[in-house]
Amino acid sequence: MQDPGGSVVFNRLWASVHNRVVSAQVEAARRRAGSIGEQPPVGGLGTKLTGELIRLDRMAAVWPDTVVIVFHGDAAPELRYPGDVVVPPMFPGRTPTYVLPVATGTVTVDVEITNAATYDGYRIEQVVIRVSLHLSPADRYGVVAALAAQFHTNRTNMEEFLLRQVKVEVANEVEAAIRLNRLADLRHTGLQAVLADRWLPRTFAGGALVRESFEVRSIIWPDVDIEQAELPRAAGSGLHLTLDARLHRVWQRHAESDLLGIAGAQAGGGSTVIAVPAFEPLQYEIERLREEYARLYGDQSLALLTITADDYQELVRKWFELVDTYPGRLIRIDSNGEEKPLRINIGQPTPPEGGRPADPGGNVGTESARLALLQLLPHPQVDFVGITRT
């Protein structure tokens, strides 16, 4: 039988010797400034988020602005921090250990966006955005450990995943900013200033990466004279429309386009507001305006009609297309001056033998839509005239 006491003494002696050897090796590693892989440039891994996945066959120190993910067999990945020394297993041939360095300092990503369309239909051939960012340090880089566990079986794809998320999210926001602005505004204000206002997110990939700064590196504008890209001519210069003061104040708070006229009506169990802006407002502005007018009228189903037009005939034609189920019924619009009734000629089906045609105005849109149109126009009366079709 072995002496239990002797075994304990031997184990303690071996542990002591082993610790002294390891401590000496650690100090030597630190003095030699050994690192996992080649020494990275000052500030971490430069433009790379991760280094190469390498097999650990010697002790190595973790460099500043870097954390290291240690993969050992099927065990959960572990993190090592700057200043730590990672020690290979005693018998590396049995279960090899791999390490993946991850930059915690600033890294840069260039994102290219091509053929983005402006609000007024111009195409910007190319935009290159450079984003500077770093890993979120929350919970001592807990996001790195979570990602390492997620990509445990495919370790080299972590960087690809993160940078792809950055590129997708940046491209989406830049395209949206361009799509909701006119070319003249973008060139006058500058894309950098437009994006800085509110577009680029502060974090990416679900909060894993934090944006430090960004820069518009290059942009290829459309080959068009800037004067040609100026805001289009204001519509409706010859129109004289009602401008309801209460509705106008709401419009001014939520839309940039000037108004030529606005009127509303509540009748027949419904509500309608008709606005004639100088330029078509953006979609999110329209949605916000409809919410405000619905609150003002106490009717959540309120209809907001926005129409741009140069004359009364165009205005009525567009109104008809918005409110009628069969806009093809509209035949002609007769306007003989603002002081006289406006006549809307509508195609009517042949009435039954001995019968009379129904009131043509009674089935065009809703009662509130018809009343709002009458209140908007300067004409003293709006007549809907049915013309029988055989």
| pLDDT value of residue 117 | 86
| pLDDT value of residue 241 | 92
Residue 15 has pLDDT above 60, yes or no: no
Residue 301 has pLDDT above 90, yes or no: yes
Residue 161 has pLDDT above 80, yes or no: yes
| pLDDT value of residue 353 | 55
- CATH number listed for the domain at residues 108-220: 3.30.479.30
| pLDDT value of residue 358 | 52
| pLDDT value of residue 389 | 55
User: Rounded to an integer, what is the distance from CA 380 to the centroid of its chain?
Assistant: 47
Across the range 27-49, mean pLDDT stands at: 47
Are the beta carbons of 118 and 189 closer than 8 angstroms?
Answer: no
Q: Give per-residue pLDDT as tens, 332-367.
A: 888 777 888 888 888 865 555 554 555 566 678 899
Locus of tokens 């006229």:
261
Q: Give per-residue pLDDT as tens, 58-72.
A: 888 888 888 988 888
Across the range 310-327, mean pLDDT stands at: 88
CB atoms within 10 A of CB 81: 12
Alpha-helix runs per DSSP H in the chain: 4-31, 138-150, 157-179, 183-189, 191-198, 245-254, 283-297, 312-323, 367-376
Average pLDDT, the chain: 79
Across the range 224-248, mean pLDDT stands at: 71
User: Rounded to an integer, what is the distance from CA 390 to the centroid of its chain?
Assistant: 54
Q: Give per-residue pLDDT as tens, 253-295.
A: 888 888 999 999 999 899 999 999 988 888 888 999 999 999 9
Window from 5-19, 28-42, 91-105, 250-264 with minimum mean pLDDT = 5-19
Q: Give per-residue pLDDT as tens, 176-206.
A: 889 888 888 888 889 999 898 778 889 998 8
Cα–Cα distance for residue pair 377/34, rounded to 1 Å: 83
Q: Residue type for 248, please?
A: H
Across the range 319-328, mean pLDDT stands at: 85
Are the beta carbons of 362 and 344 closer than 8 angstroms?
Answer: no
pLDDT > 90: percent of the chain: 29
For the chain, domain boundaries: 30-103, 108-220, 245-388
| pLDDT value of residue 50 | 82
Across the range 110-118, mean pLDDT stands at: 91
Exposure of 254 in the CB half-sphere (CA atoms within 13 A) = 17
Cα–Cα distance for residue pair 83/78, rounded to 1 Å: 15
Across the range 307-313, mean pLDDT stands at: 89
Window from 20-34, 81-95, 203-217 with minimum mean pLDDT = 20-34
Q: Would you say the pTM of this structure is higher than 0.75? A: no
Six token digits for residue 359: 């009131």
Closest CA to 382 of 309, 318, 313: 313
First-to-final CA distance of the chain = 119
Window from 45-54, 79-88, 311-320 with minimum mean pLDDT = 45-54
Residue 35 has pLDDT above 60, yes or no: no
